[in-house]
């Protein structure tokens, strides 16, 4: 499976030369104008990414990112149309103008910044952490010499070997890796803290915990077409996301969806919270 992924990555890499976006000004107002004329904002969400976006029992899309998409539409005074995307096609969907905006669990990376208009600040963040049986691990140093399960092809896998001396056992998929942890083949599962938190919240992992903070955090960013990044649409989104950090509504969503509080959201809230103390005379 990893081989397939590698092949696809190579193919995507090669084809990216063929479809490199033309140089365009980055303050276009085209998207905003067409959204307002249409009266509909088309937002790309992942759809199978609990609890950020998923189909509820009645078939409708729900989740944190779905809520955020609806808030953006509400602020613009238009309808939200949710379009299901995958991590493999979301950037193409945006480039082909089939969607106006991505809110789909996308890491903000240097290479993506060349393809799409990444909106600052990020609205969420995650990074590598551990899931282990209660009390088995107390700190990152505890993994030295021990077998640690992971998923093949994850970019940060080698950190746990080079920096902490663990013995990495990488499996083809999440399910196998986590099953190996459950049946005691390794002492911890090394993966994204957001995914671990979501697993723990399902209640299927009684007796397990996330004992350490993420090694680093990588923000997840909303994205607009590259040409719109510094245009009206990009700036509106930037402002909205800033507001969600500032007023604590992202932290409220985290609580609403039963996720463990993360340091990154708390820090963002603290650093972006506007100091209104001068108003008190």
Partner 1 sequence: MFEFIAPLFLALQKATGLNFSPFYNEYDFSRLMTGVQTSLLLIVCVLIVSLIVGLLGAAAQRSQFRVLRFLVAAYIAMFRNTPPVVQLLFFYFGLGALTPQVDMGGWYEPMISSFGWAVIALGIFGGSYNVEIFRAGIEAVPGTTLEASEALAFSPVQTFIHVTMPLALRFSLPALASNLISLAKTTSIAYVIAVPEMTYALSGVWNDSLNVGEMMMLLFIYYISVVAVIGAIMGRLEKRLAVPGLGK
Q: Which spans of this chain sit near partner 1 (rule: CB under 8 A)?
A: 2-3, 6-7, 9-10, 13, 136, 146-147, 149, 152-155, 157-158, 162, 169-172, 176, 179-180, 183-185, 187
User: Between 126 and 157, whose beta carbon lies closer to partner 1?
Assistant: 157
- The string of DSSP codes covering 212-256 is S--SS-EEE--EE-GGGTTSHHHHHHHHHHHHHHHTTHHHHHHHH
> Closest separation between CB of residue 169 and partner 1, Å?
4
Judged by CB, which is closer to partner 1: 121, or 153? Answer: 153
Least Å from the CB of residue 190 to partner 1 = 12
**Minimum CB separation from partner 1 for residue 91, in Å?**
17
> In the bound complex, what is the minimum distance in angstroms from residue 188's beta carbon to partner 1?
10
Minimum distance from residue 128 beta carbon to partner 1 (Å) = 14
Q: Which of 172/248 has CB closer to partner 1?
A: 172
Tokens 């671990």 appear where? Answer: 196
Instruction: For the CB of residue 143, give the shortest distance to partner 1 in the complex, in Å.
Output: 10
Instruction: Tell me the Cα Rg of the chain.
Output: 20
Name beta bridge partners: 151: 171
Pick the closer one to partner 1 by CB: 111 or 277.
111
Tell me the closest approach of the beta carbon of residue 153 to partner 1, in angstroms: 4
Of residues 70 and 182, the one with the C-beta less far from partner 1: 182
Q: How far is residue 260's CA from residue 262's CA, in Å, rounded to a whole number? A: 6
The continuous run of DSSP H or E covering 67 comes out as: helix 64-76
Residue closer to partner 1 (CB basis): 150 or 221: 150
Min separation Cβ 138 and partner 1, Å: 11
Q: Between 158 and 202, name the residue whose CB sits nearer to partner 1.
A: 158
DSSP secondary structure, 90-119, as one string: HHHHHHTTS-SEE-SS-B--HHHHTTSEEP
DSSP β-ladder status, 147-151 and 167-171: parallel
Contacts of 66 (CB under 8 A, 6+ apart): 45, 52, 53, 82
Q: How many whole angstroms separate alpha carbon 221 and alpha carbon 105? A: 8
Rounded Cα distance, 62 and 123, in Å: 17
Residue pair 209/134 in contact (Cβ under 8 Å)? The answer is: yes
Report yes or no: 154 and 228 within 8 Å, Cβ to Cβ.
Answer: no
Q: Provide the sign of the torsion angle of the four alpha carbons 245, 246, 251, 256, taken in this order.
A: negative
Query: Residue 6 or 266: which CB sits closer to partner 1?
Result: 6
Question: In sequence order, what are the beta bridge partners of 84?
Answer: 45
């Amino acid at each position: 499976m990893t081989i397939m992924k590698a092949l696809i990555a190579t193919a995507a890499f090669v084809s990216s030369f063929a479809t490199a976006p033309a140089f365009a000004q980055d303050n276009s107002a085209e998207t905003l104008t067409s959204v307002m004329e249409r009266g509909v904002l088309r937002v790309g969400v992942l759809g199978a990414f609990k609890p950020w976006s998923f189909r509820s029992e009645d078939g409708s899309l729900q989740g944190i990112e779905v809520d955020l998409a609806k808030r953006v539409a509400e602020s613009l005074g238009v309808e939200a149309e949710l379009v299901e995307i995958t991590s493999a096609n979301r950037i193409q969907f945006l480039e082909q103008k089939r969607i106006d905006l991505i809110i789909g669990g996308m890491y903000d990376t240097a290479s993506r910044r060349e393809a799409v208009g990444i909106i600052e600040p990020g609205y969420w963040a995650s990074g590598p952490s551990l899931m282990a049986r209660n009390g088995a691990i107390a700190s990152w140093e505890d993994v030295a010499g021990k077998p640690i399960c992971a998923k093949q092809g994850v970019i940060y896998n080698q950190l746990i070997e080079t920096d902490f001396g663990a013995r990495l056992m990488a499996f083809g998929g999440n399910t196998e890796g986590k099953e190996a942890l459950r049946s005691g083949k390794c002492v911890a599962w090394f993966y994204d803290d957001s995914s671990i938190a979501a697993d723990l919240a399902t209640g299927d992992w009684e007796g397990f915990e996330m004992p350490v903070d993420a090694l680093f955090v990588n923000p997840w960013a909303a994205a607009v077409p590259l040409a719109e990044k510094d245009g009206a649409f990009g700036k509106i989104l930037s402002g909205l996301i800033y507001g969600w950090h500032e007023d604590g509504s992202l932290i409220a969503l985290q609580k609403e969806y039963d996720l463990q509080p993360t340091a990154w959201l708390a820090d963002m809230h603290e650093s972006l919270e506007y100091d209104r103390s001068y108003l008190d005379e």
